[in-house]
Structure 1
Amino acid sequence: MALRWTDVQEIAAQLEEAHPEADVVNLRFTDLWKWVQELEEFTDDPKRSNEKILEAIQAAWLEERR
């Protein structure tokens, strides 16, 4: 399954698995951007990301953690 920036829920689930120790609330967007691109199934263009997408991923990740 190829992940794109719009696959917010699946990205959040995979980030939780890959980085269970991360402080999601205080996470820098530069780190989040990098970690998303490091996911094995992620194939989207890094330039298609923006602050709104990163905020949505962060919110989904917080929800995933709960």
Structure 2
Amino acid sequence: MGLKWIDIQDIAIELDEAYPEVDPTQVNFVDLRNWVMALDDFDDDPEHSGERVLEAIQAAWIEERE
């Protein structure tokens, strides 16, 4: 079973592993959305993402980095 938009923490971990050179505080939401959808385990409707979901993913990624 793949990752869904609601799997915030798991997505943040996957992003941290996939993009170790990226500063998550500097990622814009367009790139973030594209990167999430490009994750191998991601399997959800692209239309289910929104600003609040992307903010939560970005915050979790920042926390994962700390």
Q: Which consecutive segments of 4 or more residues in structure 1 shift more than 2 A?
A: none
The alignment of Structure 1 onto Structure 2 pairs a total of residues equal to 66
Flag the structure with higher helix content.
Answer: 2
Aligned to 1:49: 49
TM-score when normalising by structure 1: 0.97
TM-score when normalising by structure 2: 0.97
Q: Which runs of 5+ in 2 are unaligned?
A: none
Paired residue type of 1:54: L
- Cα distance in structure 2, aligned partners of 1:64 and 1:25: 12
Paired residue type of 2:25: V
3-state SS in 1 of match to 2:25: coil
Return the offset for 1:33: 0.2
Matches within 5 A, 1:22-61: 22-61=22-61
Q: Which runs of 5+ in 1 are unaligned?
A: none
- CA RMSD in angstroms comes to 0.6
